[in-house]
Chains A and B, each alone.
Chain A
Amino acid sequence: DAGVIQSPRHEVTEMGQEVTLRCKPISGHDYLFWYRQTMMRGLELLIYFNNNVPIDDSGMPEDRFSAKMPNASFSTLKIQPSEPRDSAVYFCASSSLAEETQYFGPGTRLLVL
């Protein structure tokens, strides 16, 4: 298995632009998680899905952030409009009941100018 796949790996955009981050979970995993890592706050959970349904989005910072999972093999995290304080590394992770851990993708490093 290729593991969790994220794209793009790096994104540089200007304030006000829309940013879409993509994630393909490990096949067979029914849980998908989006995290954000910053120096100040560390690694924080934004939202997670079970069987494509959002279960807890309490970590989503504000309405500018939205996440979707249209099918079991794809999820997006969208920021519209983006702001400089959104600059961070965004990780996607997947898991299942049979696993003892979550498996992380390589992350997307986002820089908003």
Chain B
Amino acid sequence: DQQVKQNSPSLSVQEGRISILNCDYTNSMFDYFLWYKKYPAEGPTFLISISSIKDKNEDGRFTVFLNKSAKHLSLHIVPSQPGDSAVYFCAASSGAGSYQLTFGKGTKLSVIP
């Protein structure tokens, strides 16, 4: 039973436009959420996080939105750049910060020049 779901395996976006990656979760105990970016032949790298006490966190071109009632979060990238092309993983944890993360299966983002 997948507790963190990324229902779109892939997404293509034109350079300069907004990329929106979605993530749903089922475990109401999750209170900390992270997004990781992964390039081929590399490990995932941390992008941005959000605590359940917030509904938005912004870092430069990246913004994460959290809708707790819908158990849904999204990552917005604006403007999208070709270097953003990667696999994006959503992850969640409960209680202990970034420990015991549960990951989604990832969404492959392709930004077309």
Tell whether A pairs with B.
Answer: yes
If A42-B104, A42-B105 touch, whether A104 touches B99 (CB-CB below 8 Å) is no
Q: In the docked arrangement, what's the CA distance between A100 and B36, Å? A: 12
CB distance from B24 to the nearest CB of A (A): 14
A101 touches B89 (CB 8 A): no
A106 to B101: give the CA distance in the assembly, Å: 18
Residues 81-113 of B contacting A (Cβ, < 8 Å): 89, 97-106
Contact yes or no, B41 A45, CB < 8 A? no
Q: Is the interface of A mostly helix, strand, loop or mixed?
A: strand
A100 with B98, Cβ < 8 A, contacts A42-B105, A42-B106 known:
yes
With A42-B106, A101-B34 in contact, do A48 and B99 touch (Cβ < 8 Å)? yes
Q: How far is the CA of A103 from the CA of B45 in the complex (A)?
A: 7
Contact in complex: B34, A107 (CB < 8 Å)? no
A18 is an interface residue with CB less than 8 A from chain B: no
Interface core residue of A43, A48, A106 (most chain B CB under 10 Å): A43
Chain B residue at minimum C-beta to C-beta distance from A4: B43
Interchain CB contact (< 8 A) of A106 among B41, B49, B105: B41
Most buried by A among B36, B42, B99, B104: B99
Cα–Cα distance between A93 and B43 once the two chains are bound (Å):
9
Q: CB distance B99 to A106 under 8 Å?
A: no
Which residues of chain B come closer than 8 Å to A14, judged between CB atoms? none
Q: In whole Å, how far is A55's beta carbon from the nearest beta carbon of chain B?
A: 9
Contact B100 A100 (CB under 8 A): no
A91 near B98 (CB under 8 angstroms)?
A: no
Question: Do the beta carbons of B43 and A101 come within 8 Å of each other?
Answer: no
Decide yes or no whether A75 CB sits under 8 A from chain B: no
Is A82 part of the contact surface with B, judged by Cβ < 8 Å? Answer: no
Question: What residues make up the interface of B, taking CB atoms closer than 8 Å to A?
Answer: 34, 36, 41-46, 49, 89, 97-106
Q: Given contacts A91-B43, A100-B46, could you give 4 more A-B pairs where the C-beta distance is less than 8 Å?
A: A43-B105, A91-B44, A102-B98, A107-B42
Identify the A interface with B (CB < 8 A).
4, 31, 42-45, 48, 56, 91, 93, 95, 97, 99-107
- By Cβ-Cβ distance, the 4 closest A-B pairs, closest first, are A104-B43, A42-B105, A101-B46, A43-B103
